[in-house]
Homo-oligomer: A and B are copies of this chain.
Amino acid sequence: MVKNVYENLSKDLIEGKESALLTFMKHLNPREGSIEKKLHISKASLLNDASTMDPELQKEILNTFHSGIPHLYHRSEEASILIEPYFPRPRLIILGGGHIAKPLCEFGFKVGFSVVVADDRPTFANANRFPEADEVICEDFQRVFDTLKLRESDFVVIVTRGHRHDGVCLRNTLKSHPAYIGMIGSKRRVREMMSQLIEEGYDQERLNTVHSPIGLSIGAVTPDEIAVSIIAEVIGCRRALGTKLSNNNKFNWPEFDADVINQICVASEVPRALITIIASKGSVPRKAGAKMIVWLDGRTMGSIGGGCSEANIATLSRDVILNQRFSIEHVDMTGLAAEDEGMVCGGTMEVLIESI
């Protein structure tokens, strides 16, 4: 059942839908108890057909979407609900599968984008070439946009093998309003293309929002360096949007462990615990939402920040697994030991350990 809930969550995220995960907890005391059930609800259904839902709970869920971080909602002394908001990873759409696309796909995946690569040449648009991509599309650059269905949360990078294809991609991209548009090209080529588009009736102000020549000016020479300059620019735009649109968590949502979520969906012979940071204060390496799995045989996946604190939590997980319950642990990283070393961390966090 837990597996189904996470599978539905993954499905929603892949389809670009925001959704929430509810964990109903029955307390023996404020820090321990048993998990009653888990529920997955998409934001759309919460807004459209929530007639049967407790209006107070509905309000709490909406607030959680707004804040963008998990919230432990205390219904009574014995009952609480952990509400976790989930936002789909923004897509990094790379048009052109050449020598810049390869490192860019790696970097994009690494910094939390769902990467889509498109090219019209089968040798370039194939999944083996882009193992980190969620989708590789082999399609004419004109028709690929029917498949892509651009979203406002998309980051579009145009790096095809030639400026004619770049032009086709730019014209099609400008029909939508993605969060970022960048196009490769020398200053001269870009100037020529922009004049051409102005002649065709495109708006100058709109064209000014296109990042072209693409990438931060760091004097990049090699394809790998150019990919760094592009991903740095993309991150800058993403985080700036996150600050500007402060309730737009699709841009400023830092903690999401796709690999852990996927792992929960895989059946395990060895009993295991799921660990989630449900709140944090001050300077901590990872914030609310971060997740890891600890197996009874000692294996782990993911991280809640590393170090001694993580090791302690992993040890405590043993008891939680054996007792089939949950436990909420307070982790203090402001202690004297840390101070002595001039530790970077000086915060606290609440961590939920649950047997899954």
Residues of A within 8 A of B (CB): 98-99, 103, 106-107, 110-112, 161-167, 184, 216-225, 228-229, 231-233, 235-236, 239-240, 242-243, 252, 254-255, 285, 303, 305-307, 338, 341-344
* Whole-angstrom CA separation of A79 from B277 in the bound complex: 70
The majority secondary structure among interface residues of chain A is helix
A225 pairs with B235, CB closer than 8 A:
yes
Collect the chain B residues with CB atoms within 8 Å of residue A222's CB: 111-112, 254-255
Collect the chain B residues with CB atoms within 8 Å of residue A111's CB: 222, 224-225, 228
Collect the chain B residues with CB atoms within 8 Å of residue A107's CB: 107, 228
B228 pairs with A344, CB closer than 8 A:
no
A218 pairs with B232, CB closer than 8 A:
yes
A342 pairs with B219, CB closer than 8 A:
no
A216 pairs with B219, CB closer than 8 A:
no
Copies of this chain in the oligomer: 2
Complex partner residue of A285 from B99, B184, B216, B221, CB under 8 angstroms: B99
A–B Cβ pairs within 8 angstroms, 22 of them: A99-B285, A99-B306, A103-B110, A106-B110, A107-B107, A111-B222, A111-B225, A111-B228, A112-B224, A162-B341, A166-B342, A216-B216, A216-B218, A218-B239, A219-B235, A219-B240, A219-B242, A221-B252, A223-B285, A228-B232, A228-B235, A229-B232
Collect the chain B residues with CB atoms within 8 Å of residue A224's CB: 110-112
A342 pairs with B110, CB closer than 8 A:
no
Collect the chain B residues with CB atoms within 8 Å of residue A232's CB: 216, 218, 228-229, 232
Collect the chain B residues with CB atoms within 8 Å of residue A184's CB: 344
* Whole-angstrom CA separation of A99 from B290 in the bound complex: 14
Please give the distance in Å from A109's CB to the nearest CB on chain B: 10
Collect the chain B residues with CB atoms within 8 Å of residue A106's CB: 110
Collect the chain B residues with CB atoms within 8 Å of residue A165's CB: 341-342
Complex partner residue of A164 from B98, B221, B229, B341, CB under 8 angstroms: B341
Complex partner residue of A235 from B98, B162, B220, CB under 8 angstroms: B220
